[in-house]
Amino acid sequence: MQRGKKKNLLTPTTFSLLHAVDFADRLTYQILPPLKAGMIVLADRYVYTAFARDVARGVHPDWVRAVYSPALRPDLTLYFRVPIDVSLERLLSGRAKLKYHEAGMDVGLSADPIESFRIFQSRVLAIYDRLTVEFGMRPIDATAEIPNQQKIVRAMVQEILGDYDRQRAHAKNGSTLVTR
């Protein structure tokens, strides 16, 4: 994957398939076993990332969803929403330049990486906004102060986990999946 990305050999569909294979491996070995054991699983970047990123690259949405169809529906999905310019500022404050694929340069939206980033990530955000409604994702203002965000997240998680101990007492195979 690194070689394909470095030499720009991957089509959007190939890129999507490689990420899907990685997800299938994580689902099989890191998500399902703990869930079956009654544990809580926290996952960063779940299938919704692929739904947004791959579709923004031009991959057909139905195809992407079919590839990720084995994924479980989480009990809680947090969507830390941040405006494009804030995201861009945060990324560039930590490094000299944008990464080729995060800027959507592989899609050919603009020769300028910053402009390409704005166009590509605007597409991604628009898709996430639709997914938020469709899948009941819980948006959080990622521009708010960290302690405020933390209070909101804790309240949402507590709401979901409030019955967790009671469920575990009644069913040994209770499970909870929380994604971000």
Domain at 53, CATH number: 3.40.50.300
Tens digits of per-residue pLDDT, 79-117? 999 999 999 999 999 888 898 888 999 899 999 999 999
Q: Can you give the residue range of the structural domain that contains 28?
A: 2-179
Tens digits of per-residue pLDDT, 5-60? 666 667 889 889 999 999 999 999 999 999 999 899 998 889 999 999 999 999 99
- CA angle 171-174-175, nearest 5°? 180
Give me the half-sphere count of Cα atoms (radius 13 Å) on the Cβ side of residue 63.
11
What's the pTM? 0.82
> Could you tell me the sign of the dihedral formed by the alpha carbons of 136, 142, 144, 149, in that order?
positive
Q: DSSP 3-state assignment of 71?
A: coil
Q: How many domains in the chain?
A: 1
